[in-house]
């Protein structure tokens, strides 16, 4: 991407426009804050406006500092940014949801989020980090959690609300009682895990699908290195594209993007 690149957007069921390509700020390699700040500022300079973080990532504060700096320098404005964060699984109790979002907003130095997601349908004991152990898992109350998410939306703390890592069954259960339907379901998706059943269901009920780790998250404990897959390497060679372009479905101007993605 460069500063002259026009990034397409998707209109969510909330009416909000979401840039199709976002930069994930997860810090899987424990980079220093200075490196993350530099990466975010450079990303804004070359055309990124969508940034994705989460409470569990531990990067909300440094992302907030970088965004504040960029806005203060006149490089961008709050209105031109799309910021996503996520409710961690140890804060699913309804009485904890609004306060968790308020802490996220404090960390990010923002008055509202463009998108707030339930990070996972799994409820965990307070203080549990990832990867969680079996003994840390608690009975889920997604109905109660989602009701509190709707309160966040209705109070203007988040312009859109959604979920992450939800299956078709879990989405159907949520929709059965939701007053405000989820705008987004962010899931792992790439050529080695195409989520065809889930995408079909979401398309049918108006939930936008975003791919996290579209490259397969190589080098992480949960990742699959799609970039070294022989079929992807063969396609990239045949069409003079990089394996990353093939994996993310970028570089095909005649084919419109069908979903958004958050890059590693």
Q: What whole-number distance in Å separates Cα of residue 229 and Cα of residue 156?
A: 44
How close are the terminal C-alpha atoms of the chain, in Å? 14
Residue carrying structure tokens 């095909």: 252
CA dihedral 235, 241, 242, 243 (to 10 degrees): -20
Which residues lie below 8 Å from residue 125, measured CB to CB, with a gap of 6+? 90, 136, 138
Q: Which residues are identified as catalytic?
A: 57
Nearest to 43 by CA among 58, 61, 22: 22
Going by C-beta distance under 8 Å and a sequence separation of 6 or more, which residues neighbour residue 124? 88, 89, 90, 92, 132, 136, 137, 138
Phi first, then psi, for residue 209 (nearest 5°) are: -105, 125
3-class SS of residue 252: coil
Question: Any idea which residue has 């791919």 for tokens?
Answer: 211
What DSSP string describes 28-93? TT---HHHHHHHHHHHHHTT--EEE--GGGT-HHHHHHHHHHHHHTTS--GGG-EEEEEE-GGG-S
111/128 Cα distance (integer angstroms):
27
């Amino acid at each position: 991407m460069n500063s002259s690149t026009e990034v397409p957007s998707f209109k969510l069921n909330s009416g909000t426009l979401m840039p199709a390509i976002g930069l994930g700020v997860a810090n899987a390699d424990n980079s220093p804050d200075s490196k993350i700040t530099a990466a975010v500022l450079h990303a804004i300079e070359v055309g990124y406006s969508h940034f994705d973080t989460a409470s569990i990532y531990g990067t909300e504060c440094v992302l907030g500092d970088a965004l504040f700096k960029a806005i203060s320098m006149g490089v961008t404005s709050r209105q031109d940014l799309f910021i996503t964060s996520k409710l961690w699984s140890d804060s699913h109790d309804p009485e904890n949801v609004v306060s968790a979002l308020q802490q996220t907003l404090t960390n990010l130095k923002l008055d509202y989020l463009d998108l707030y997601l339930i990070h996972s349908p799994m409820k965990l004991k307070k203080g549990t980090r990832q990867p969680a152990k079996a003994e840390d898992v608690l009975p889920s109350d997604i109905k109660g959690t989602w009701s509190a998410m709707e309160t966040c939306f209705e109070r203007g703390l988040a312009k859109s609300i959604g979920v992450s890592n939800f299956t078709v069954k879990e989405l159907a259960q949520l929709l059965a009682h939701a007053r405000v339907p989820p705008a987004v379901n962010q899931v792992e998706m790439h050529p080695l895990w195409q989520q065809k059943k889930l995408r079909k269901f979401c398309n049918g009920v108006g939930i936008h699908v975003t791919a996290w780790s579209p490259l397969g998250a190589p080098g992480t404990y949960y990742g699959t290195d799609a970039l070294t897959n022989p079929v992807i390497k063969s396609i990239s060679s045949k069409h003079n594209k990089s394996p990353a372009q093939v994996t993310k479905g970028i570089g095909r101007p005649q084919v419109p993007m069908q979903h958004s993605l958050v890059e590693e």
